[in-house]
Copies of this chain bind each other. A is one copy, B any other.
Amino acid sequence: LDDGDAERLTELLEPLHAADIADLLEQVDDDTRVDLVRLYGREFDGEILTELDEGIREEVIAALHPEVLSDAVRELDTDDVVDLIEDMEEDQQAAILDVLEDVDRVAVEQSLTYPEETAGRLMQREMVVAPEHWNVGEAIDYMRAQDGLPDQFYHVILIDPRLRPTGYVTLGRIMSSPRSVKLAQITEDSFRTIPVLQDEGDVAYAFNQYHLISAPVVDADDRLVGVITIDDAMAILDEEHEEDILRLAGVGEESAISDRVIETTRRRVPWLAVNLVTAILASLVIAQFENVIAGMVALAVLMPIVASMGGNAGTQTLTVAVRALATKDLTSANVWRVVRREVMVGLVNGLVFAVVMGLVGWVWFSAPMLGVVIALAMVVNLVVAGLAGVAVPVLLDKLGIDPALASGAFVTTVTDVVGFFAFLGLAAAVLI
């Protein structure tokens, strides 16, 4: 690269998949990246752009020669172009739309009229349809005679005269059926349509739940407007999971390892600020018992243990609950059973660790009553952790707030406050 040897670079990158080149670009430092992109030049493939993290993508686009960029974009499928430009500024968008062919531009522009993160943004317009009354022979002859079949398709979608999809037939099934068989007789059971305004997360859920390979997208009048394929659904599933994990940890959902310091800081500060408030709340509880602690400093030594165990138990429960909500395994039908179960788990765990900590407290400070106090506080806090761990996410979900995002702060506030209050309050009552 230092020698500016473009040929050697092309030779090295040639055998790599676009996704791997994108990963490479994400991992090198900023200067190297610009040099690499400039040097790679004409060979630059549009697919690399779609694979890049957003932050890096903008830099790479800025570094590309306009002509190279046009060529790269023109090669892409319309759904990839939508993905590429939906977060751009308007003038940048317009510049890219300008280089597209007319048909593609109309398709991209229409996709952009649907709200972000809906099926309308995910779907592609390239598809193969047939009237529902055709037989296998007619379908085969039609496909054989067509010039512009999509590169990749797996189903022939059957439509009625009003353009509403009524079923689909796999290419494999068409291949293995006699010419005289009606297409309508060999449709797949798994057939279901997706409303064009459906949230992309629900689309991914449907693909995973019903093992779909592709699914027709319909408008409000049930008319066919596009098709979504499983590879796009898989990418969304991957993204949604990523977001859930990052939200649970209180990291902005679009965080990437390649972000800059200042962006990363900006994303993480809000969550740390929330945590600071909850930590101060817990400290206010402790402050109520200053005299008790002054009378017995051992309490200050042991109190973080009770809070920490409660926080961990609460996090365990809330993670399971948040996941169960996301996968629709936790519904109003079983919520009371789940609450009861988590409280029981909290009670059993509380008893186990009450015994352990009771002994530790007793032996460490030679004060049997201190052991009793920490044991009781442990039981109380782990039961509360179980209760809050389910109740908080379920309530947030009912209120329309993403439980993955906000549950952690609430649950640890509860377990900190209850933990310190139970431990220091019991100590005040029993020991002083």
| Residues of A near any B CB (own CB < 8 A) | 17, 19-20, 23, 26-29, 128, 140, 143-144, 146, 149-154, 170-173, 175-176, 190, 207-213, 230-231, 233-235, 237-238, 241-242, 244-246, 248-251, 255-258, 260-262, 264-265, 268-269, 271-273, 275-276, 278-280, 282-283, 286-287, 290, 293-294, 297-298, 300-305, 307-309, 312-313, 315-316, 318-321, 323-324, 328-331, 333-334, 337-338, 341, 344-345, 348-349, 352-353, 356-357, 360, 416, 420
Q: Is the CB of A249 within 8 A of B23?
A: no
Looking across the interface, which residue of chain B has its beta carbon closest to that of A229? B213
Looking across the interface, which residue of chain B has its beta carbon closest to that of A17? B210
15 additional A-B pairs beyond A27-B329, A290-B297, beta carbons within 8 Å, are A149-B172, A149-B176, A150-B172, A171-B175, A208-B238, A230-B234, A257-B324, A261-B348, A271-B316, A272-B309, A272-B312, A278-B308, A279-B309, A282-B304, A286-B301
Which chain B residues border A210 with CB–CB below 8 Å?
A: 17, 19
Rounded to whole angstroms, the CA-CA distance of A279 and B38 in the bound complex is 53
Q: Is the CB of A334 within 8 A of B237?
A: no
Would you list the 7 A-B pairs with minimal beta carbon distance, nearest first? A249-B319, A241-B241, A300-B300, A149-B176, A171-B171, A257-B324, A279-B305
Chain A contact residues: helix, strand, loop or mixed: helix
Known: A149-B175, A208-B238. A302 touches B283 (CB 8 A): yes
Q: Is the CB of A323 within 8 A of B279?
A: no
Total identical chains: 2
Q: Is the CB of B304 within 8 A of A283?
A: yes
Rounded to whole angstroms, the CA-CA distance of A176 and B29 in the bound complex is 44
How close is A340's CB to chain B, nearest CB, in angstroms? 9
How close is A191's CB to chain B, nearest CB, in angstroms? 11
How close is A179's CB to chain B, nearest CB, in angstroms? 9
17 contacts between A and B (CB under 8 A): A27-B329, A143-B175, A146-B176, A149-B176, A151-B170, A208-B238, A230-B231, A244-B245, A250-B316, A251-B319, A257-B329, A257-B334, A269-B349, A272-B349, A276-B305, A280-B360, A304-B307
Rounded to whole angstroms, the CA-CA distance of A360 and B287 in the bound complex is 14
Rounded to whole angstroms, the CA-CA distance of A356 and B279 in the bound complex is 13
Q: Is the CB of B143 within 8 A of A176?
A: yes
Which chain B residues border A140 with CB–CB below 8 Å?
A: 175
Q: Is the CB of B23 within 8 A of A328?
A: yes
Q: Is the CB of B305 within 8 A of A300?
A: no
Looking across the interface, which residue of chain B has its beta carbon closest to that of A144? B175
How close is A70's CB to chain B, nearest CB, in angstroms? 22
Rounded to whole angstroms, the CA-CA distance of A50 and B20 in the bound complex is 34
